[in-house]
């Protein structure tokens, strides 16, 4: 189990895929010939046989990889299933909880996302990304007070994180605390956050304070 946690405890893995299947070839009388594609039913049978011979760690990592691929495709419900499968074998992996929480959030299931972020925080309280992402889900639910607390903790753990300052600036703006919002926005700019995107976010937040036209 420790090996699985170690493999999953680093930065999120980036999967490089070219989107093309590799052609299979064989030699016929010294010449290369294209091998006929494997029928779907046979491919599935081969995969099931291969899975039976994998170690628990390999199965967990395979489930994790499938979850990441489904997130990249925008298939968030499928990603949640794969991360859940991986968690059944590695229930102490903060990264797996974080990944599943992200998939919940991307699927607009923010309450479930927060539950998983809470577990990830308990398992790895010093990881700033979890606070930022949990703050985003809390912001999406309109919980500005706790969102600001999470963004503040992310900043405490990673003081030069422009994105955390930008997100807190937006939350302050929507709460009506313009002085704090402007200070955070200024810090975010000095830390490299794009001016155009930041202003779009701040304008949208401020518009929520304006009274509706009669």
CATH code, 105: 1.25.40.10
Same domain assignment for residues 105 and 62: yes
The answer to whether residue 135 is domain-embedded is no
Would you list the DSSP string of 155-170?
A: HHHSTT-HHHHHHHHH
Question: Is 170 part of any domain?
Answer: yes
Structure tokens at 68: 């990441």
Question: What share of the chain has pLDDT > 90, as a percent?
Answer: 65
The residue among 90, 125, 160 that closes a domain is 125
- Do 109 and 155 lie in one domain? The reply is no
pLDDT at 5 over 80: no
Same domain for 112 and 150?
no
Same domain, 149 and 211: yes
CATH, residue 174: 1.25.40
Give how many domains the chain has, as a whole number. 2
User: Does residue 157 contact residue 176 with C-beta atoms inside 8 Å?
Assistant: no
How far apart, in Å, are the Cα atoms of 6 and each of 57, 62, 135, 156, 198?
11, 15, 26, 25, 36
> Does residue 34 fall inside a structural domain?
no
Q: How crowded is residue 114: how many other Cβ atoms within 10 Å of its Cβ?
A: 23
Domain range spanning residue 107? Answer: 58-125
Burial 154-179 (b: 16+ CB within 10 A, else e): bbebbeebbbbbbbbbbbbbbbebee
Asked if residue 153 and residue 212 are part of one domain, the reply reads: yes
Q: Encode pLDDT of 123-156 as tens digits.
A: 999 999 999 999 999 999 999 999 999 999 999 9
Is residue 205 assigned to a domain? yes
* 28 contact partners, CB below 8 Å, separation of at least 6: none
d(CA 146, CA 136): 10
| Same domain? 149 vs 201 | yes
**CA distances in angstroms from 39 to 42, 44, 208, listed in the order given:** 5, 9, 55
In three-state secondary structure terms, 177 is coil
> Bridge-partner residues for 31, per DSSP?
28
Q: What are the CB-based long-range contacts (under 8 Å, 24+) for 67-70? A: 67/99, 67/100, 67/103, 68/12, 68/13, 68/15, 68/99, 69/15, 69/17, 70/103
Establish if 188 belongs to a structural domain.
Answer: yes
Task: Supply the pTM of this predicted model.
Answer: 0.72
Q: Are residues 152 and 196 in the same domain?
A: yes
Please indicate, yes or no, if residue 20 is contained in any of the structural domains: no
- For the cut 60, the answer to whether the pLDDT of residue 161 exceeds it is yes
Give pLDDT tens digits for 78-125.
Answer: 999 999 999 998 899 999 999 999 999 999 999 999 999 999 999 999
Contacts of 145 (CB under 8 A, 6+ apart): 175
Phi, psi of 16 (to 5 degrees): -95, 120
* In a domain? residue 94: yes
**Residue 104 domain-assigned?**
yes
């Amino acid at each position: 189990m420790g090996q699985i946690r170690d493999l999953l405890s680093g930065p999120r893995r980036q999967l490089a895929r070219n989107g093309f299947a590799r052609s299979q070839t064989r030699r016929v009388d010294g010449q290369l010939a294209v091998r006929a594609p494997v029928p779907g039913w046979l491919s599935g049978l081969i995969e099931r046989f291969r899975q039976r011979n994998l170690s628990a760690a390999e199965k967990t990592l395979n489930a994790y990889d499938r979850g990441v691929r489904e997130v990249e495709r925008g298939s968030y419900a499928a990603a949640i299933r794969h991360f859940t499968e991986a968690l059944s074998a590695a229930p102490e992996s903060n990264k797996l909880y974080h990944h599943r929480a992200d998939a919940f959030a991307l699927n607009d299931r923010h309450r479930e996302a927060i539950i998983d972020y809470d577990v990830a925080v308990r398992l790895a309280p010093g990881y700033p990304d979890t606070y930022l992402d949990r703050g985003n889900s809390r912001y999406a639910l309109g919980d500005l007070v706790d969102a600001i607390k999470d963004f503040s903790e992310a900043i405490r753990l990673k003081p030069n994180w422009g994105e955390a300052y930008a997100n807190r600036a937006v939350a302050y703006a929507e709460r009506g605390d313009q002085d704090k919002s402007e200070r955070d926005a200024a810090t975010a700019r000095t830390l490299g956050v794009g001016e155009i995107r930041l202003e779009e976010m701040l304008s949208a937040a401020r518009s929520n304070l304006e009274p509706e036209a009669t």
